[in-house]
Amino acid sequence: MAILQLENGTKYTEVDDITRELSQLNIQLKYWTVGDNPQIHQLLAKDSLTEPEKEQILQSLDNYFLELKQTAGYQSRDLIVLHPETPNLDNLLSKFNSCHYHTDDEVRYIIAGEGVFGFILPDTSQAELTVEAEEFINVPANTEHWFHLTPAKRVKVVRYFTGTDGWVPVYTGKDIKFDRILGCVT
């Protein structure tokens, strides 16, 4: 279940409350099941996946991709698998753990594990949203945000693209007020 923490310490765990709080940024948060296929669940429990295993998972979830293709023009998708033994994990994540935006929507579907999106709100306060398995998030283009993993450092996420050019981070230089280790505002 998603958890939203505001800079003032307020926490929300109910989807309606989170949706209301993030509506000012037009962020979409939805629950999408991965289904009950035991073979897919076995794959999701593994740390690493081969390319054919990734494709098997993607194909099992393509009903969501087809919906996004028809309703929003998405053209491709991929599956990212991160865990503590991922080579150069900290270096890979360092591209996204500073405040930035993209010129295209950032659309992710967490299918296992969890990650944290942080946001600059219109009043310049900040919030962090922990997104967990079976949650879909759409961060609109030009929304200032950052991303990091929780201490477990495990996530499997499907990313959806209309193209790839818009996913280059444009850094804003704003300070992040959340302590990533303690999960609180500094």
Rounded to a whole number, what is the largest CA-CA distance in the chain? Answer: 46
Divide the 186 residues of the chain into consecutive groups of 10 and give the mean pLDDT of each group. Answer: 94 95 96 97 97 98 96 94 96 92 94 97 96 97 96 96 80 87 47
Contact by Cβ (8 Å): 185, 177: yes
Which residues are part of a known binding site for Ni(2+)?
A: 100, 102, 106, 145
pLDDT for 165 equals: 66
Which residues are part of a known binding site?
A: 100, 102, 106, 145
Which numeric CATH code is attached to 3-174? 2.60.120.10
Instruction: Determine which helix (DSSP H) or strand (DSSP E) holds 70, and give its type and residue range.
Output: helix 62-72
DSSP annotation string for 80-136: EEE-TTSTTHHHHHTTTSSSEE-SS-EEEEEEEEEEEEEEE-TTS-EEEEEEETTEE
Cα distances from 60 to residues 53, 104, 111, in angstroms, run: 11, 26, 12
pLDDT for 9 equals: 93
pLDDT for 95 equals: 87
Distance CA 98, CA 102 (A): 13
pLDDT for 180 equals: 54
Which residues are part of a known binding site for Fe(2+)?
A: 100, 102, 106, 145
Cα 179 versus chain centre, distance:
19
Distance CA 1, CA 9 (A): 18
First to last CA, the chain: 25
Beta strands 106-120 and 178-179 are: unpaired
